[in-house]
Amino acid sequence: LQTLPPLKLAEKYFQIFPEERDPLWQNPCHDKRHKDIWSKEKTCDRLPKFLVIGPQKTGTTALHSFLTLHPAITSSFSSPVTFEEIQFFNGPNYHNGIDWYMDFFPFPSNVSTDFMFEKSANYFDTEVTPKRAAALVPRAKVIAVLINPADRAYSWYQHQRAHQDPAAINYTFQQVVSVRQSSPNELLVLHNRCLKPGEYATHLENWLQHFQSRQLHIVDGALLRSSPAQVMDGIQRFLGLNPVFNYTQALMFDESKGFWCQRIDGGRPKCLGKSKGRKYPEMTPETRAFLTEYYREHNLELLRLLNRLGHTLPSWLRQELQNSS
């Protein structure tokens, strides 16, 4: 029997099995063989019970802040690199391994009653994420927030303008949505970032390849904005949280912000920062009509998917399909 020093052996191994170069982390405690060699110093309890997957610009930060008010819910720690989001399953952080990921979570004081979660809003539309998430946290629940994809696209465009993205500064939203193949690359990139995440049914089907439909909860983002307490009650039922936290008391509407905020001591509101709930001109009717048409098939797919799952339809979806029929 021949062997090699560890590095050489690894090189040889990946020459023979190149498809295994990309790891797929599983929960070491779900397989006895892995658990037996897993350090006694370590735990498998520092993992989320649920994920808020996005997509971006649908109200995920508001949802994150409302969730953390609940006494039984604990968020992951903030990432020093990506601000509040860990962004583990979707990109290069995945290669940092599961110890790196677990370090973002505290040791739960009670494994059965503590609900730890993380929110990374680009999990929703990155193709590799559901497979990786299902390998590590197969029993996790998954929450997605959907608003009218046309509004989501416009909000992303405004977000990029606020961050001085030259493409968003130099081109109108109408130019961004109606590109041609021959358009400059920076414009095509922005076009995709604006529009692709809003093809909701495609991304949700990808999640449903790896998670059961009862693990998935879809939040109507328009309702989250107008009646957050109602949405939070639905989420509490979905997660099976007991006792139920009273969001009607915990939240208040702030007239000057124009959004629901946390009610803090003295009955004052504590709202999200300026980058959430930005003020910008309305989308032009021309661009809205273009996007209604662009998303027609995708929204019809979403309608079929939600009917299949027996989920209530968001009011914006009914409205949008009426507009495009």
String marking each residue 252-271 x if it binds ligand A3P according to CB under 6 A: -------xx-----------
Tokens encoding 251 = 């939240």
Only segment of 39-47, 240-248, 274-282, 294-302 that touches ligand A3P (CB under 6 A): 274-282
Residue nearest to ligand A3P (CB): 61
Q: Does 152 bind ligand A3P (CB under 6 A)?
A: no
- Beta partners for residue 288, in sequence order: none
Q: Does 149 bind ligand A3P (CB under 6 A)?
A: no
Q: Does 276 bind ligand A3P (CB under 6 A)?
A: yes
What residues numbered 196-255 form the site for ligand A3P, per CB under 6 A? Answer: 224-225
C-beta of 26 vs 79, nearer to ligand A3P = 79
245-269 per-residue burial string, b: 16 or more CB within 10 A, e: under 16: bebeebbbebeeeebbbbbeeeeeb
**Rounded to the nearest whole angstrom, what is the least distance from the CB of residue 164 to ligand A3P in the complex?**
16
d(CA 133, CA 296): 30
Q: What angle do CA 319, 253, 230 make, to 5 degrees?
A: 55
C-beta of 95 vs 278, nearer to ligand A3P = 278
Q: Does 60 bind ligand A3P (CB under 6 A)?
A: yes
**Rounded to the nearest whole angstrom, what is the least distance from the CB of residue 235 to ligand A3P in the complex?**
14
d(CA 242, CA 196): 37
C-beta of 124 vs 171, nearer to ligand A3P = 124
Q: Does 161 bind ligand A3P (CB under 6 A)?
A: no
Q: Out of 93, 122, 126, 158, point to the residue binding ligand A3P (CB under 6 A).
A: 158
Only segment of 36-44, 108-116, 204-212, 272-280 that touches ligand A3P (CB under 6 A): 272-280
Residues sharing a CB contact under 8 Å with residue 99, sequence separation 6 or more, in sequence order: 42
Residues sharing a CB contact under 8 Å with residue 121, sequence separation 6 or more, in sequence order: 52, 53, 54, 55, 56, 57, 58, 60, 85
The helix/strand/coil state of 134 is helix
Q: How far is CA 120 from CA 30, 56, 223, 240, in A?
A: 24, 9, 21, 22
Q: Does 56 bind ligand A3P (CB under 6 A)?
A: yes
Tokens encoding 142 = 């998954």
C-beta of 84 vs 186, nearer to ligand A3P = 84
Only segment of 54-62, 166-174, 237-245, 297-305 that touches ligand A3P (CB under 6 A): 54-62
Active-site residue, selected from the candidate residues 8, 12, 49, 57: 57
Q: Out of 53, 62, 223, 306, point to the residue binding ligand A3P (CB under 6 A).
A: 62
d(CA 294, CA 299): 9
Q: How far is CA 263 from CA 65, 73, 274, in A?
A: 12, 18, 18
Among residues 90, 69, 297, the alpha carbon closest in space to that of 202 is found at: 297
d(CA 16, CA 153): 44
Query: Does the annotation count 57 as an active-site position?
Result: yes
C-beta of 134 vs 291, nearer to ligand A3P = 291
What residues numbered 105-124 form the site for ligand A3P, per CB under 6 A? Answer: 121
* Catalytically active residues, by annotation: 57
* Site residues for ligand A3P per CB under 6 A: 56-62, 121, 155, 158, 224-225, 259-260, 272, 276-278
